[in-house]
């Protein structure tokens, strides 16, 4: 077996499949950093996937399609924010409701759009110059869409924003101790709304990537559980945008390898590999010295009520 | 005046009743969504064709019916007045049989199963001959000698298709291999995509598949690699790269069956031995990138230029071979079958002896893999 | 206290029974109203549609029995989930636990050489244990390794799905099924009997109602129930009280998953008589049961009724698909809407609404300290 070709294809596929996971995870990290769990990622992604396809098919512009996907993800997240921040509903149940509703609604709206080829898709890029580098070229600079690179840059920028700016301090303090943040003059409600909606925007783009780039067609339920992997990745990445990169691409690689390795291992066992690893990785990261580093934001999942200390 | 009106009304009502007695209301129970662009979509297209053709026929359908729920839906359809019910998934078999016994006045037809009753027939349109013809073309088009096949589930139907395909490939290209990946879902585009990518990474350069989405065609086209469509016409998804494919015409079966009920040939008493197993000869299946386009013109030259030394026909281009084989299988007096002995499986066992064909029972329970198939084969004998 | 026009809202610590019932009913009604939009979208008069559905579902005993049949797995899973939720353990894994029960029952039904009279009891017992063990796993992961319970239970669903897939395609594939991925049919001694004219496997139904009663007593009257409630309310308090977290979580999840396992036994022994592809064994009962349990507000007895409500929605969905020819996704939209309305109404239960003259009210930000 030719090892370089194995490495090249695995890394390249890991990037391509990891993109929606990366976008979704970055968004969820921000929501959770501000103290709001959104289990509705699956619903937001599927709505994004449908919207991106419908708009791209009608207008012919994948860019506009992705923009609308982000919008619909943002609107869905806004509902979640309203329920959980303003109405202080249980965040887990609100997220589950969003996932159910999103899957149902996207399926309902998407009925006329199934089985149609997409006229204009988000192009796969071959980066001039860089793609000619041996090994690295085909690995990183071919067969990727622009969203791969934007996602990577975004991860870095979001890390800087979160850990190196005053805004980041505000977001983190809202997630850690909203009462203190409030006392310091930070608008807890506003920060939470913004972070949750931002998470929805990114999840929408992640979903849109699936229907206009990854596999340019609309099919019902095409997110196939990716939203749930995103939730696991958020914890796996310890709520850190940079670690989300490794996490997303690790799962992308696993998913690809579960088909590549079929020649050597039982297919059914390979299919459960990503889910099995999600549990194992979480268990390993909850174990031993790493535990203190991987602590969730202290106020995660707790609605904030002013005047209650 | 009033009395006249009543009389007129009565006549009208009676008239419509008499008409209703000869009407057929057919219910279709599907396992998937009609938008799946595969199995269920094809059945629904056929339903609409026959529905529009005959005014004595009314049709209704239910989609995405879980296999264990088929009896519930049959109850609902019978209550709505259906007198013919088609169930289109193997998993509906036992439920349909139980319902057939419970409703002796309703005619049932179950697709792809093997249990029948006085009022329950079975039917199937099978693709294995078509896959063989596609295999001939694939064998001629591969440059790496590796052909990729994305398959849904390791069940006899798919094993039969993959083996027939591989026999075709090997007939024109004895060294070529068919690499198989299973996705364990009829319908999961992401899985189909990664499986195709895995096959591309292994060096496959021509693709065929059995699953319910056009994913494989699209992914192969992105890499400028040719592929064969499955079930519905997939030419439009990649006009430059869909070489040919398998197209089903369930309407041929539905039309025949419903007409015979209408004419009184089939009743609720005489279906215990009615089993449609329709192939190329009956027109239930077709080879082609889209209806009427057997081979995509873009690939005609390549197939005409690929000339082999055939044991039966001597020097012949694959293009001509495809047409000869098609005629041998499509003409009423069928003179050829892909599984014509001697056929060996990939472990070297003789599966079909010289000069023999496989029986219907052997075909529908087939588990072995033809020589040339590479990859996992759950349940291989 | 909050002023909204002429109304004054006052917080209350614990919602009254009437408030819970009223608010929950209001939420369901609002969801039905919202869902009317969908009917309009398909060009149907929602009122007529609801009437027609009502006639179709309640019209006869056989058609109404479908509500009961669909409610059976929901009662069992729902009661189990009320227990887990009471301890603030987020068991999203009833689906996988149900399948685990179905697998164990199939093993006993097809492969265990036991006297025929023992077969069904052993199927239920093994199903309970299998579902329970599949649920104890995330409990231990949470206590020992700090693994988030939502994720672990969810991931275990997927893992169980592929285990079932592997079994029916591999070692358990039935020799009489001509290579298709199903096990052979169960022997007669492993099949549940029905109520007349229906497919209601009454034994599982009885088990569900029994389980609800036992769970209610367990929660209200035993030390274990007390510990569950304390753990659920505050981990701090539980620590002070010297409660053994591991034991409480493990036991509560054993019961929660065990009941889901029983539901799985009921489905394979009552409906399918074989193991088949997981998507066809459970119609997402494990996920719907989350709403059932949430709507029941932690009361196992109430879960019987909320399960019946969702049994009704399932049966109505079947009817809509055939009689009104509406797309099947409508049921998913329905469930989502009901859940949305329910949780957004939640807050109302903690407020008392009172009409009052406009006065200079103290406008403060009162909150629900009950949670």
CB spacing of B194 vs A255 below 8 angstroms: yes
Query: Which pLDDT value is given to residue B20?
Result: 43
* Lowest mean pLDDT segment, chosen from A17-21, C12-16, C169-173: C12-16
Closest-CA residue to C154 (of C171, C141, C166, C173)? C141
Three-class secondary structure of residue B150 per DSSP: strand
Q: Name the residue of chain C whose CA is nearest to A97's CA.
A: C336
For residue C119, pLDDT over 90 is answered with: yes
Query: Mean pLDDT, to the nearest integer, of C155-167?
Result: 92
CATH 3.40.50.2300 range(s) for chain B read: 2-125+250-282, 128-247+285-374
pLDDT(A90) > 80: yes
For the residues B123-138, what does the mean pLDDT come to? Answer: 96
Spell out the residues 6+ positions from residue B138 whose beta carbon is closer than 8 angstroms to its own. Answer: B147, B165, B168, B169, B206, B208, B228, B243
Confirm if B68 and B125 have CB atoms less than 8 A apart: no
Q: In whole angstroms, what is the distance from residue A99 CA to residue A96 CA?
A: 5
Answer yes or no: is A8 within a domain. Answer: no
Mutate which: A108, A276, A308, vs C, most C CBs within 10 A: A108
A80 touches chain B (CB under 8 A): no
Tell whether C133 lies on the interface with A, counting CB pairs under 8 A: no
Using the Cβ of C55 and the Cβ atoms of chain B, whether some distance falls under 8 Å is answered with: no
pLDDT for res A143: 80
Give the C-alpha separation, A140 to B90, whole Å.
Answer: 45
What sign results for the dihedral spanned by CA atoms A116, A121, A126, A128? positive
Element (H, E) at C331: helix C330-346
Interface residue B62 vs chain C (CB under 8 A): yes
**What number is the average pLDDT over the span C263-275?**
96
A229 and A21 in contact (C-beta within 8 Å)? yes
- The per-residue DSSP string of B286-324 comes to EESSBTTBSS-HHHHHHHHH-EEEETTTEEEEHHHHHHH
A87 contacts C344 by C-beta, under 8 angstroms: yes
Q: What pLDDT does residue A191 have?
A: 96
Chain B residues with beta carbon closer than 8 angstroms to that of C272: 67-68
Instruction: Check residue C3 and give its pLDDT.
Output: 61
Q: Mean pLDDT over residues C215-237, rounded?
A: 90
Least confident of C105-114, C186-195, C337-346: C337-346
For chain A, give the number of residues.
309
Q: Which of A263, A271, A265, A270 is nearest to A1 (CA)?
A: A263
Mean pLDDT for C318-330 is: 82
Tokens of A202: 């990114």
H helices within chain A, ranges in order? 3-33, 41-59, 62-81, 91-109, 136-140, 146-164, 166-176, 178-183, 188-209, 226-236, 241-260, 267-271, 273-285
- Look at A93 and C294 and tell me if their CB atoms are within 8 Å: yes
Confidence of residue C363 (pLDDT cuts 50, 70, 90): very low
- Dihedral of the alpha carbons of B261, B262, B268, B271, in degrees to the nearest 10: -10
> Which of C170, C271, C318 comes nearest B68 by C-beta?
C271
Where does the pLDDT of residue A223 fall: very low under 50, low under 70, confident under 90, or very high at 90 and above? confident
The tokens 């230029």 sit on which residue?
Answer: B305
Chain B neighbors (3+ CB pairs < 8 Å): A, C
Neighboring chain C residues of A79 at a CB cutoff of 8 Å: 340
Q: Radius of gyration (Cα) for chain B, nearest Å?
A: 23
Residue B9 has pLDDT above 70, yes or no: no
Residues of B with CB below 8 A from C182's CB? 91
pLDDT for B347 beyond 80? yes
* B128-247+285-374 CATH fold: Rossmann fold (3.40.50)
Contact at CB, B379 and C170, closer than 8 angstroms = yes
- Per-residue pLDDT for C163 more than 90? yes
Whether pLDDT at B298 is above 90: yes
What's the pLDDT at B28? 96
CA distance C345 to chain A (A): 8
Nearest CA to C319 out of B87, B76, B33, B60 is that of B76
Q: Which residues pair with B374 in a beta bridge?
A: B179
Q: C40: pLDDT confidence band, cut at 50, 70 and 90?
A: confident
Q: Taking a contact as any Cβ pair under 8 Å apart, which residues of chain C between 48 and 107 contact chain A?
A: 90, 92
Say if the Cβ atoms of C179 and B156 lie within 8 Å: yes
Asked if B35's CB is within 8 angstroms of A114's CB, the reply is: yes
pLDDT of residue B321: 96
User: Does B63 reach chain C within 8 Å, measured CB to CB?
Assistant: yes
- Chain A residues closer than 8 Å to B232 by CB: 115
Does residue B61 carry a pLDDT above 90?
yes
For residue A279, the enclosing domain spans 14-292
Instruction: Establish if A307 belongs to a structural domain.
Output: no
Residue B287 has pLDDT above 90, yes or no: yes
Interface of C with A in 161-190 (CB under 8 A): 161-163, 165-166, 169-170
Report whether pLDDT(C356) > 80: no
| B68–chain C Cβ distance below 8 A for any pair | yes
Say how many domains are in chain A: 1
Options 2.60.40, 1.10.3470, 3.30.70, 3.30.160; CATH of C45-325: 1.10.3470
CB pair distance less than 8 Å for C277 and B67:
yes
The DSSP-derived string for B64-115 is: S--GGGHHHHHHHHHHTT-SEEEE-SGGGHHHHHHHHHH-TTSEEEEES---
Indicate yes or no: CB of B191 within 8 angstroms of CB of A263: no
Judge whether residue B5 has pLDDT over 60. Answer: no
C-alpha distance from residue C58 to each of C67, C186, C312, C332 (Å): 9, 32, 10, 22
* 8 A C-beta contact, residue C359 and residue C25: no
Query: A215–B184: do the CB atoms touch at under 8 Å?
Result: no
- Could you report the per-residue pLDDT of B230-250, keeping only the tens digit for each? 988 899 889 999 999 999 999
C370 versus A184: which is more confidently predicted? A184
CB atoms B184 and C169 under 8 Å:
yes
CA distance B339 to B326: 14
- pLDDT at position C13: 64
The answer to whether residues A30 and A77 touch, using CB atoms and an 8 Å cutoff, is no
Q: Is the pLDDT of residue C365 over 70?
A: no
Residue C125 has pLDDT above 90, yes or no: yes
Question: What residues in C contact B184, CB-CB < 8 Å?
Answer: 162, 165, 169
CB contact under 8 A, B182 and A262: yes
Domain residue extents for chain C: 45-325
> Chain C partners of B185 at a C-beta cutoff of 8 Å?
none
CB–CB of C283 and B69 under 8 A? yes
Between residues C284 and B118, which one has the greater pLDDT? B118
> pLDDT tens digits, residue range A24-56?
999 999 999 999 999 999 999 999 999 999 999
- CATH class as words, domain B2-125+250-282: alpha beta
Any chain B CB within 8 A of the CB of A163?
A: no
Nearest by Cα to C332 from B70, A110, A226? A110
A contacts of C162 (beta carbons < 8 Å) = 268-269, 271-272, 275
What is the spatial distance between Cα B207 and Cα B297, in angstroms, rounded to a whole number? 18
Q: What is the mean pLDDT of chain C?
A: 87
Residue A6 lies in a domain: no
With CB atoms and an 8 Å threshold, state whether C272 touches B68: yes
B52 touches chain C (CB under 8 A): no
Residue A303 confidence (pLDDT): 83
C170/B91 Cβ within 8 A = no
């Amino acid at each position: 077996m030719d090892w370089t070709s194995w490495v090249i294809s695995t890394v390249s596929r890991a990037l391509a499949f990891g993109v929606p996971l990366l976008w979704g995870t970055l968004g969820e990290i921000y929501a959770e950093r501000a103290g709001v769990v959104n289990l509705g990622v699956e619903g937001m992604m599927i709505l994004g996937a449908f919207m991106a396809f419908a708009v791209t098919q009608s207008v012919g512009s994948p860019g506009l399609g992705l923009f609308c996907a982000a919008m619909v993800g943002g609107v869905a997240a806004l509902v979640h924010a309203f329920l959980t921040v303003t109405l202080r509903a249980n965040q887990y149940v609100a997220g589950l409701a969003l996932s159910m509703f999103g899957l149902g609604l996207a399926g309902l709206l998407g009925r006329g759009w199934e089985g149609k080829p997409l006229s204009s898709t988000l192009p796969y890029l071959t980066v001039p110059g860089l793609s000619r580098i041996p090994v690295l070229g085909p690995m990183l600079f071919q067969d990727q869409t622009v969203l791969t690179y934007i996602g990577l840059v975004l991860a870095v920028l979001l890390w800087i924003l979160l850990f190196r700016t005053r805004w980041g301090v505000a977001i983190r303090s809202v997630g850690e101790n909203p009462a203190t943040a409030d006392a310091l003059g930070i608008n807890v409600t506003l920060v939470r709304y913004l972070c949750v909606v931002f998470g929805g925007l990114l999840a929408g783009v992640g979903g849109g990537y699936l229907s206009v780039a990854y596999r340019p067609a609309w099919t019902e339920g095409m997110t196939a559980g990716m939203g749930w992997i995103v939730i696991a990745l958020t914890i796996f990445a310890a709520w850190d945008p940079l670690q989300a990169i490794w996490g997303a691409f690790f799962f992308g690689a696993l998913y690809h390898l579960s088909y590549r390795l079929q020649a050597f291992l039982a297919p059914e066992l390979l299919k459960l590999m990503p889910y099995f690893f999600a549990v194992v990785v979480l268990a390993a990261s909850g174990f031993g010295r790493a535990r203190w580093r991987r602590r969730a934001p202290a106020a995660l999942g707790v609605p904030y009520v002013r005047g209650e200390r | 005046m009033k009395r006249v009106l009543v009389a007129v009304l009565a006549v009208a009502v009676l008239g419509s009743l008499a008409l209703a007695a000869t009407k057929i209301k057919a219910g279709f129970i599907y396992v998937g969504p009609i938008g799946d662009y595969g199995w269920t979509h094809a059945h629904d297209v056929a339903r609409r064709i026959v529905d529009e053709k005959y005014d004595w026929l009314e049709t209704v359908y239910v989609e995405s019916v879980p296999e264990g729920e088929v009896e519930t839906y049959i109850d609902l359809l019978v209550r709505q007045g259906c007198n013919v019910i088609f169930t289109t998934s193997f998993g509906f078999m036992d439920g349909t049989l139980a319902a057939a016994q419970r409703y002796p006045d309703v005619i049932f037809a179950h697709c792809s199963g093997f249990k029948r009753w006085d009022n329950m027939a079975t039917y199937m349109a099978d693709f294995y001959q078509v896959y063989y013809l596609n295999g001939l073309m694939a064998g001629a088009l591969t440059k790496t000698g590796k052909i990729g096949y994305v398959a849904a589930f390791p069940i006899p139907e798919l094993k039969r298709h993959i083996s027939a395909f591989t026999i075709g490939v090997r007939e024109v290209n004895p060294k070529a291999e068919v690499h198989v990946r299973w996705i364990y879902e009829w319908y999961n585009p992401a899985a189909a995509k990664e499986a195709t990518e895995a096959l591309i990474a292994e060096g496959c350069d021509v693709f065929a598949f059995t699953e319910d989405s056009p994913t494989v065609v699209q992914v192969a086209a992105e890499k400028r690699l040719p592929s064969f469509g499955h079930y519905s016409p997939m030419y439009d998804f990649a006009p430059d790269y869909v070489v040919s494919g398998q197209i089903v015409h369930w309407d041929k079966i539905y039309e025949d069956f419903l007409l015979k009920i209408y004419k009184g040939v089939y009743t609720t008493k005489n279906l215990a031995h009615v089993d449609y197993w329709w192939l190329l000869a009956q027109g239930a299946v077709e080879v082609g990138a889209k209806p009427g386009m057997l081979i995509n013109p873009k690939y005609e030259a390549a197939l005409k230029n690929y000339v082999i030394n055939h044991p039966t026909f001597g020097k012949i281009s694959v293009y001509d071979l495809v047409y000869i084989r098609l005629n041998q299988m499509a003409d009423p007096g069928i003179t050829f079958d892909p599984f014509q002995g001697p056929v060996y499986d990939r472990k070297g066992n003789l599966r079909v002896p010289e000069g023999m064909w496989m029986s219907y029972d052997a075909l529908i329970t087939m588990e072995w893999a033809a020589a040339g198939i590479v990859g996992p084969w759950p349940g291989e004998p | 206290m909050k002023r909204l026009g002429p109304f004054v809202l006052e917080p209350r610590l614990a919602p009254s029974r009437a408030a819970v019932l009223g608010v929950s009913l209001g939420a369901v009604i609002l969801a039905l109203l919202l869902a009317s939009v969908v009917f309009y979208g398909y060009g149907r008069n929602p009122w007529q549609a609801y009437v027609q559905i009502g006639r179709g579902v309640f019209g006869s005993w056989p058609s109404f029995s479908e509500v009961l049949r669909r409610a059976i797995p929901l009662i069992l899973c729902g009661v189990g989930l009320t227990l887990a939720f009471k301890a603030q353990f987020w068991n999203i894994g009833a689906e996988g636990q149900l399948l685990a029960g179905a697998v164990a029952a199939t093993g006993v039904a097809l492969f265990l050489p036991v006297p025929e009279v023992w077969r069904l009891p052993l199927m239920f017992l093994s199903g309970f244990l299998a579902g329970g063990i599949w649920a104890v796993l995330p409990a231990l992961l949470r206590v020992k390794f700090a693994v988030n319970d939502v994720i672990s239970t969810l991931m275990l669903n997927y893992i169980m799905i592929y285990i079932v897939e592997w079994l029916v395609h591999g070692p358990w594939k039935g020799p009489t099924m001509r290579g298709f991925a199903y096990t052979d049919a169960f022997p007669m001694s492993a099949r549940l009997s029905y109520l007349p004219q229906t497919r209601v496997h009454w034994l599982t139904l009885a088990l569900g109602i029994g389980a609800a009663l036992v769970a209610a007593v367990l929660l209200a009257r035993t030390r274990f129930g007390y510990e569950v409630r304390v753990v659920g309310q505050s981990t701090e308090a539980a620590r002070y009280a010297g409660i053994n977290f591991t034991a409480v979580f493990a036991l509560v999840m054993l019961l929660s998953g065990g009941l889901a396992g029983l539901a799985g036994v009921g489905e394979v022994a009552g409906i399918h008589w074989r193991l088949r592809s997981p998507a066809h064994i459970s119609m997402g009962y494990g996920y719907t049961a989350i709403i059932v349990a949430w709507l029941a507000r932690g009361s196992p007895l109430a879960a019987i009724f909320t399960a019946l409500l969702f049994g009704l929605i399932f049966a109505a969905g079947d009817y809509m698909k055939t009689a009104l020819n509406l797309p099947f996704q409508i049921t998913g939209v329905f469930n989502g809407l009901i859940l949305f309305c329910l949780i957004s109404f939640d807050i109302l239960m903690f407020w008392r609404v009172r009409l009052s003259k406009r006065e200079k009210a103290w406008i403060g930000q009162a909150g629900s300290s009950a949670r």
